[in-house]
Amino acid sequence: MESTRTLRIALPNKGSLADPAATMLREAGYAQRGSHRELAILDAPNQVEFFYLRPRDIATYIGSGEIDLGVTGWDLLLDAGIEAETLLKLGFGGSTFRYAARPGAVKELADLDGLRIATSFPGLVAAHLREHGHAATIIQLEGAVESAIRLGVADAIADVVETGSTLRAAGLEIVCDPILESEAVLVRRPGGGHDSVQHAVDLLLRRLQGVLVARQYVMLAYDVPTALLTEATAHTPGIESPTVSQLQREGWVAVQAMILRSDIHPIMDALYEVGARAILVTDIHACRL
């Protein structure tokens, strides 16, 4: 077996993915750069080196093999046509990739035939049209694609949509089914796992999964009469099983269980109706399940 070496990870240096990626790595216990001007930093205790690169370029670096892992957008990877193994979906940078046009101009994919479609993701659009048996002229732009129709260089666009407010402001309507749903992903080259970094990769994955769970779940605690325990814990089964401890007060127990953040209020309402009291919710800052 090779001796261990530093794990090299590419992170987005700018754009929508940069801050959430750095925050997530920090929450997972890794050092991050102090200034946006730093191009790389070494986290010596964790034996990891972080390289801050344009998210679009991260796909290329992953393909080249000099970088072990990268965080980038799923849409950017597909656009670059780089084959990569997705190790983890990271739960941020969520968006859809959609066609848009002037209201009424495009009803279905066939209406795109022969049109000029402006996009910053030419690979994605070309592949999508090809797969569906359509052909259009792709106009490649760096950004602000929504202005391309008004400025006369395109008849339709294909772009990232998050809230849809940029499209609305440009007076365009979304048309056809989504081309793609995307989010930030942790990737590596297919078959690109070196023995020498496998332990560090496993540790990173466990830590990031811990962050995802800590973000998704909260800790719920409540007191309930022992006679109502079964009814109450039916609402809070926990991951393995709820923790039940004796209260000093005769005939009552205290219960603790993890619940999904999105379920907090319905579960608290149900527990109150069952007869639980002192129902408290606290954040989980880190966890290993």
Ligand X SMILES: O=P(O)(O)OC[C@H]1O[C@H](OP(=O)(O)OP(=O)(O)O)[C@H](O)[C@@H]1O
Ligand Y SMILES: Nc1ncnc2c1ncn2[C@@H]1O[C@H](COP(=O)(O)OP(=O)(O)OP(=O)(O)O)[C@@H](O)[C@H]1O
Residue 165 engages ligand X in binding (rule: CB under 6 A)? yes
| Biggest CA pair distance of the chain | 78
Nearer to ligand X, 47 or 96 (CB): 96
Is 245 exposed, middle or buried, given 0-12, 13-18 or 19+ CB atoms closer than 10 A?
exposed
Per CB under 6 A, the segment of 22-30, 70-78, 216-224, 244-252 that binds ligand Y is: 70-78
Closest separation in Å from C-beta 142 to Mg ion: 8
Closest separation in Å from C-beta 83 to ligand X: 25
What are 66's two structure tokens?
A: 């000099």
Per CB under 6 A, the segment of 68-76, 83-91, 224-232, 266-274 that binds ligand Y is: 68-76
Nearer to ligand Y, 129 or 185 (CB): 185
> Which listed residue (93, 123, 210, 242) binds ligand Y by CB under 6 A?
93
| Rounded Cα–Cα distance for residues 7 and 9 (Å) | 6
Nearer to ligand X, 144 or 153 (CB): 144
Binding string, 121-150, against Mg ion, x = CB under 5 A? ----------------------x-------
Closest separation in Å from C-beta 164 to ligand X: 5
Q: Which residues contact 236 (CB under 8 A, 6 or more apart)?
A: 220, 242, 255, 257, 259, 267, 271
101 phi and psi angles, rounded to 5 deg: -155, 175
What are 252's two structure tokens?
A: 């009552």
Nearer to ligand X, 6 or 166 (CB): 166
Sheet holding 85-89, edge to edge: 40-43, 48-53, 7-12, 69-73, 184-188, 85-89
Closest separation in Å from C-beta 58 to ligand Y: 10
Closest separation in Å from C-beta 143 to Mg ion: 5
Q: Which does 17 bind (CB under 5 to 8 A by kind): ligand Y, Mg ion, ligand X, none?
A: ligand Y
Collapsing DSSP states into helix, strand and coil, what is residue 288? coil
> Which listed residue (182, 235, 242, 255) binds ligand Y by CB under 6 A?
182
Comparing C-alpha atoms, which of 157, 156, 166, 10 is closest to residue 73?
10
Collapsing DSSP states into helix, strand and coil, what is residue 140? strand
Number of residues in contact with ligand Y under rule CB under 6 A: 15
Q: Are 120 and 142 in contact (CB under 8 A)?
A: yes
> Which listed residue (83, 162, 177, 273) binds ligand X by CB under 6 A?
162
> Which listed residue (3, 35, 163, 245) binds ligand X by CB under 6 A?
163
> Which listed residue (9, 21, 53, 76) binds ligand Y by CB under 6 A?
76
| Rounded Cα–Cα distance for residues 93 and 131 (Å) | 26
Closest separation in Å from C-beta 34 to ligand X: 25
Residue 162 engages ligand Y in binding (rule: CB under 6 A)? yes
Q: Are 2 and 194 in contact (CB under 8 A)?
A: yes
What's the angle, vertex CA 112, arms to CA 106 and CA 171, rounded to 5? 40
Sheet holding 217-225, edge to edge: 243-246, 252-260, 217-225, 277-283
What is the contact surface with Mg ion in residues (CB under 5 A)? 143
What is the contact surface with ligand X in residues (CB under 6 A)? 143-146, 159-166
